[in-house]
C-alpha cells in the first residue's frame, strides 16, 4: 500500500543507534499512548538487542483529597497521611502503566518503569535520559491537522526535544506515525557531511520527487537543518512529494479507509470522553485535537490530506482493534474501579476514625476544660484558705510573742516580788527574833583566833590601856580591828555584861564606835580600828600629829552631839554614856568622830571588884556635879560632859578650871586669846556662839543646861554648815583610802549593803548571794558553810554611809 510504503520510507530515514540500544518511551498513560509504544516496538525490536524503559512524569503532590471531594494542602496533614497518599498515587500510576509494560513483555523484551515526580516534564525526562543513558527517546505528539491550524513552537514535545541531551535521538509520534525527529549530534554531523548541496531548507523542500534515494536525502537534510521549523510543517512538506503520485490512483481506497478511520476515531473519542470523566487528573489530552480531527474528517479536501497523515495507522480489522481497545479500557476501568472502591473504603474508615477521634478529642477537651475549671476553682479556694491561714498564723504569732513577752515580764516581776517578799520576810523574822532575843547580832570570835591575831597579846600590838582593859590592834578576817581585853575575869560571866553586850550589838549610829564582834567567854570586845586615835591625842598633837582645823572641830562637836541624842532616845530605855571625854572620842582616817565605851562604864560600874563601886562612874572634871552630889544619873549628865568637850575643842587646854577661864575671856572680850591658834582663823561670831553654847551645857545645875535635842543639836548643826562652807571654799582636810573592813572581799570595793555570812565575814549582799548560788564554801576560808543565811550588818552600813558623806564633802 502507498501509505505503508511512505511510512517505511520515512522509517528508513532514521539513523541507527549503535548497540546496545536503550529506548525510552515517554507516555502519559492514556489510551493513545499504546500507539507510541507499538510504534517503538515495531521500530526498534527488529534492529537487534534493545531494552525499553517506560518514562512517566506526574506532577508533585501538593494536596491530599478528602472523602468529601475537597483537597487539603499536604503541609496541613500528618506525615503518615501524606505518606499513605503518596503510596496510593504511586500504586495508581503503576497500575496505569502495567498494560503498557505487558505490551512490551509480550514481545519478550526487557521493560522497566521509571515514575518521576516533577512539575517540569521536559527537564525531568532530560535528567532521566542522562541518568539512564538512553540512546533513543520516543515521545507522543499532538495530532493536529496540518491544514487547519498552526503548530505552536513551544508545546511539550518541542520543550522535550530542546531539553534532551545531544547524544539522544528524539522521535515524536502521533497516532502511531512518526511526526518529527530530532537527530543526535552524531547523526546530524554525518548527515551534513554527506549532503553535497548544502542548500537551505526551503530549496531542498521545494525539489521534485524523482527517486526514493533522493527523497531520503532530502528528508534527512530537512530534519537536520530545519529544526527551527515546526515538525508538522516539515512533515507536510516531506510527504507532499510522495503523496502527489498517489492522489489520483488511491481515491477509492481512501474512501474505504476514511469510513473505517471515522468509525475507529469515533470509538476512540467516546473512550476518551468516558476516560476523561473518570480520570480527570490525567494530563496531556487535548479536546481541541478531537474537534480539529473531526472537522478534517467532514471536509472532503482536508480528508485527503489527513488520509496521508493517517494512512499508516493500524489497518487491521477495525472490529478486532476496537475490541482490543475496549478490552484494554475495560481492564483499566476494572483496575481503577477496584482501586476507587478500596480508596473509598479506606476513606470511609478514615472518615469514621477521624469523626470518632474528633468526638473523642472534643469529649476529652470538654473534660479537660471542666477539670481545668475545677482545678482553678480549687486553686482559688486553696489560695484563699492559705491567705486566711497565713493571717491567722500572723495573728497567732503576734499573740504568742505578746503573751511570751508578757509571761517573761510577769515572771520577772514575780521573781522580783518573790525575792523582795522573801527578803522582807527574812528581815521581819530577824527583827522579830531580835526583839525576842533569839538572834545573835554580833559576830563571835574564838579565843584562839584572838590570841593568834594579837600574837599572844604582844606588846607590839598594844595601842592603849585604860581603867577597864587593854586595847590591841590586830587583823581578823582580813579586817583591822581593835580588841579590848577586860581586866576583870568575872565581868564576862555577869548578867549585866551579857545584857549590855546584846544592847551594844544592836545599837548602830555613824558616830558610835562599831562593835565588830566579841568573845563572851573571855570578856573580849572587838571594835573597828580608828586610824587617827582619840580626840585627846589629836588635841595634844601627840607624836607631832598635825592640828585639827577649826571647821573640823565644829563638825566633831555636832557629830558627838548627834550620837548622844541617838543614845538618849534609844528604846526601850535611854542609854547614858556617863563617861564622855576626848579620850573616848575616836577619829578615823577622815577625822570622823565616833564615841567609844558606850554602855561599858555602866556595866563596869556594877563590878564589885572596881574601886569606885560606890561612887559615880566617869572621869573627874567631866562628871555631872549633881550626879556627883546626889548619885542620880540623867541624859543631861552627858550634856555637861559635852560642854566640857566643846571647850577643849576651842582651846585645846586641860579641862581643869576651863569653864572659869572661858567665862573670864568672854567677859573681858579676850576669847581670841584663849582659842587654839593652830586650828586656823576662827570665825569670830560663830566661835563666840559655840563658846556660849559650851558654857551653857557646863552649868552646875542640871535645870540650867539646855536640851540636847531641841537646843544644842540645832545650834551645832548651823555651825556645822558654816564649817561645810569653809570646807567647800577650799580649806583642805585630811583624806585617805576607805578602811579595810569597808571593802567587800569578793568585789574589792566599798560595800553598799553589807551583810554577815555564816563564816563571820561581811560581804556585799549581791556578791555573796551570787557566790552562794554556785558554791557551798566560804570565799575567805574555803571551808564548808554551816548555812546560807545572811545577817544585815547595820553597824558597818552606818560607818560606810558616814564615810561616803565625808568623801562627798571633802574638797578635791
Binding residues for ATP: 484
Beta bridge partners of 54: 25, 113
Number of other residues whose CB lies within 10 A of the CB of residue 132: 15
What are the start-end ranges of the E strands in 183-294? none
Q: What single DSSP character describes residue 534? A: B
Q: Which long-range contacts (CB under 8 A, 24 or more apart) does 605-610 make?
A: 605/578, 606/494, 606/496, 607/488, 607/490, 607/491, 607/494, 609/488, 609/490, 610/488
- The contacts of residue 156 (CB under 8 Å, 6+ apart) are 121, 122, 284
Number of other residues whose CB lies within 10 A of the CB of residue 427: 11
Q: If DSSP states are collapsed to H, E and C, what string results for 701-745?
A: CHHHCCCHHHHHHHHHHHHHHHHHHHHHCCCCCCCCCCCHHHECC
| Helical spans, DSSP H, in 734-793 | 765-774
- For the annotated binding site, the residues are 484
Dihedral sign (CA 512, 513, 516, 520):
negative
Number of other residues whose CB lies within 10 A of the CB of residue 45: 16
Whether the link from the prior residue into 20 is cis, omega within 30° of 0, is yes
How far is 51 from 394, CA to CA, in rounded Å?
Answer: 95
From the list 28, 272, 312, 579, the catalytic residue is 579
How far is 627 from 638, CA to CA, in rounded Å?
Answer: 10
How far is 588 from 42, CA to CA, in rounded Å?
Answer: 161
Nearest to 518 by CA among 496, 489, 534, 498: 498
CB 701 within 8 A of CB 626: yes
CB 129 within 8 A of CB 137: yes
The continuous run of DSSP H or E covering 586 comes out as strand 585-587
Residue 61's Cβ-count burial label (10 Å; 0-12, 13-18, 19+) is middle
Three-class SS of residue 614? coil
Catalytic residue status for 579: yes
Q: What single DSSP character describes residue 459? A: G
CB 744 within 8 A of CB 764: yes
| Cell reading at 774 | 554556785
How far is 123 from 55, CA to CA, in rounded Å?
Answer: 13
CB 536 within 8 A of CB 644: no
Three-class SS of residue 597? coil
The continuous run of DSSP H or E covering 240 comes out as helix 231-244
Place of cell 474528633: 358
Residue 211's Cβ-count burial label (10 Å; 0-12, 13-18, 19+) is exposed
Using CA atoms, how far residue 796 sits from 525, 600, 754, 801, in Å, is 16, 20, 7, 9
User: What backbone phi and psi angles, to 5 degrees, belong to 172?
Assistant: -105, 120
What are the start-end ranges of the E strands in 78-213? 111-117, 136-140, 169-174, 177-182
User: What backbone phi and psi angles, to 5 degrees, belong to 465?
Assistant: -150, 135
CB 503 within 8 A of CB 474: no
How far is 350 from 433, CA to CA, in rounded Å?
Answer: 115
* Angle, in degrees to the nearest 10, between helices 713-728 and 794-809: 50
Q: Tell me the residue length of the chain.
A: 812
* Angle, in degrees to the nearest 10, between helices 185-194 and 212-225: 130
Beta bridge partners of 173: 140, 178
Positions marked catalytic: 579
Amino acid at each position: 500500500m502507498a501509505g505503508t510504503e511512505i511510512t517505511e520510507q520515512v522509517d528508513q530515514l532514521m539513523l541507527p543507534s549503535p548497540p546496545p540500544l536503550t529506548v525510552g518511551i515517554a507516555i502519559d498513560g492514556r489510551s493513545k499512548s499504546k500507539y507510541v509504544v507499538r510504534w517503538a516496538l515495531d521500530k526498534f525490536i527488529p534492529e537487534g538487542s534493545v531494552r525499553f524503559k517506560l518514562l512517566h512524569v506526574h506532577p508533585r503532590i501538593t494536596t491530599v483529597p478528602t472523602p468529601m471531594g475537597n483537597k487539603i494542602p499536604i503541609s496541613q496533614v500528618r506525615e503518615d497521611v501524606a505518606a499513605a497518599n503518596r503510596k496510593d498515587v504511586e500504586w495508581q500510576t503503576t497500575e496505569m502503566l502495567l498494560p503498557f509494560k505487558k505490551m512490551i513483555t509480550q514481545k519478550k523484551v526487557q521493560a522497566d518503569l521509571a515514575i518521576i515526580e516533577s512539575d517540569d516534564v521536559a527537564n525531568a525526562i532530560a535528567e532521566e535520559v542522562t541518568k539512564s543513558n538512553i540512546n533513543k527517546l520516543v515521545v507522543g505528539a499532538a495530532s493536529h491537522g496540518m491544514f487547519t491550524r498552526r503548530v505552536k513552537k513551544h508545546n511539550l514535545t518541542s520543550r522535550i526535544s530542546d531539553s534532551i541531551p545531544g547524544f539522544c535521538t528524539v522521535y515524536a509520534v502521533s497516532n502511531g506515525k512518526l511526526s518529527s525527529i530530532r537527530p543526535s549530534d552524531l547523526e546530524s554531523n554525518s548527515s551534513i557531511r554527506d549532503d553535497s548541496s548544502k542548500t537551505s531548507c526551503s530549496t531542498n523542500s521545494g525539489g521534485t520527487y524523482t527517486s526514493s534515494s533522493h527523497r531520503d536525502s532530502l528528508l534527512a537534510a530537512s530534519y537536520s537543518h530545519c529544526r527551527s521549523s515546526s515538525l508538522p510543517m516539515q512533515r507536510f512538506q516531506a510527504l507532499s512529494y510522495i503523496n502527489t503520485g498517489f492522489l489520483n490512483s488511491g481515491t477509492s481506497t481512501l474512501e474505504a479507509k476514511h469510513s473505517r478511520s471515522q468509525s475507529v476515531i469515533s470509538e476512540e473519542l467516546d473512550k476518551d470522553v468516558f476516560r476523561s470523566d473518570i480520570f480527570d487528573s490525567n494530563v496531556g489530552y487535548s479536546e481541541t485535537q478531537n474537534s480539529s480531527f473531526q472537522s478534517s474528517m467532514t471536509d472532503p479536501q482536508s480528508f485527503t490530506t489527513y488520509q496521508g497523515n493517517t494512512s499508516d495507522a493500524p489497518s487491521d480489522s477495525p472490529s478486532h482493534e476496537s475490541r482490543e481497545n475496549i478490552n484494554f479500557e475495560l481492564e483499566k476501568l476494572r483496575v481503577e474501579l477496584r482501586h476507587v472502591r478500596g480508596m473509598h473504603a479506606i476513606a470511609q474508615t478514615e472518615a469514621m476514625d477521624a469523626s470518632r477521634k474528633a468526638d473523642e478529642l472534643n469529649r476529652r477537651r470538654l473534660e479537660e476544660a471542666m477539670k481545668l475549671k475545677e482545678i482553678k476553682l480549687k486553686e482559688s479556694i486553696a489560695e484563699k484558705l492559705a491567705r486566711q491561714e497565713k493571717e491567722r498564723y500572723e495573728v497567732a504569732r503576734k499573740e504568742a510573742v505578746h503573751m511570751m513577752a508578757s509571761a517573761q515580764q510577769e515572771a520577772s516581776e514575780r521573781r522580783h516580788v518573790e525575792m523582795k517578799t522573801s527578803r522582807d520576810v527574812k528581815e521581819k523574822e530577824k527583827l522579830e527574833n531580835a526583839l525576842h532575843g533569839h538572834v545573835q547580832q554580833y559576830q563571835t570570835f574564838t579565843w584562839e583566833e584572838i590570841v593568834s591575831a594579837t600574837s599572844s597579846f604582844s606588846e607590839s600590838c598594844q595601842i592603849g590601856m585604860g581603867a577597864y582593859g587593854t586595847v590591841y590592834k590586830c587583823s581578823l578576817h582580813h579586817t583591822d580591828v581593835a580588841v579590848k581585853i577586860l581586866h576583870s575575869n568575872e565581868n564576862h560571866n555577869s548578867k549585866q555584861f551579857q545584857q549590855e553586850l546584846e544592847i551594844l550589838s544592836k545599837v548602830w549610829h555613824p558616830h558610835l564606835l562599831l562593835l565588830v564582834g566579841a568573845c563572851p567567854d573571855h570578856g573580849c570586845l572587838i571594835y573597828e580600828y580608828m586610824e587617827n586615835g582619840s580626840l585627846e591625842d589629836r588635841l595634844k598633837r601627840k607624836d607631832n600629829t598635825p592640828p585639827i582645823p577649826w571647821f573640823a572641830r565644829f563638825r566633831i562637836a555636832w557629830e558627838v552631839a548627834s550620837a548622844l541624842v541617838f543614845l538618849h532616845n534609844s528604846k526601850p530605855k535611854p542609854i547614858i554614856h556617863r563617861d564622855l571625854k576626848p579620850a573616848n572620842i575616836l577619829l578615823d582616817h577622815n577625822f570622823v568622830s565616833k564615841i567609844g565605851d558606850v554602855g561599858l562604864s555602866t556595866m563596869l560600874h556594877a563590878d564589885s571588884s572596881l574601886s569606885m563601886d560606890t561612887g559615880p562612874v566617869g572621869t573627874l572634871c567631866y562628871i555631872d556635879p549633881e550626879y556627883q552630889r546626889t548619885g542620880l544619873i540623867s541624859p543631861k549628865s552627858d550634856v555637861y560632859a559635852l560642854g566640857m568637850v566643846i571647850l577643849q575643842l576651842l582651846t585645846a587646854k586641860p579641862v581643869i578650871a576651863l569653864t572659869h577661864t572661858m567665862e573670864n575671856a568672854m567677859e573681858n572680850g579676850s576669847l581670841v586669846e584663849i582659842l587654839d591658834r593652830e586650828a586656823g582663823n576662827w570665825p569670830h561670831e560663830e566661835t563666840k556662839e559655840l563658846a556660849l553654847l559650851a558654857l551653857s551645857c557646863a552649868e552646875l545645875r542640871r535645870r540650867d543646861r539646855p536640851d540636847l535635842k531641841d537646843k544644842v543639836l540645832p545650834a551645832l548643826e548651823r555651825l556645822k554648815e558654816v564649817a561645810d562652807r569653809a570646807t567647800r571654799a577650799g580649806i583642805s582636810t585630811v583624806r585617805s583610802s576607805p578602811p579595810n573592813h569597808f571593802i567587800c572581799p569578793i568585789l574589792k570595793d566599798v560595800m553598799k549593803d553589807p551583810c554577815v555570812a555564816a563564816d563571820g565575814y561581811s560581804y556585799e549582799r549581791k556578791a555573796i548571794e551570787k557566790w552562794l548560788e554556785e558554791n557551798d564554801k566560804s570565799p575567805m576560808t574555803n571551808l564548808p558553810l554551816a548555812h546560807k543565811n545572811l545577817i544585815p550588818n547595820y553597824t558597818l552600813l552606818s560607818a560606810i554611809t558616814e564615810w561616803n558623806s565625808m568623801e562627798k564633802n571633802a574638797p578635791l
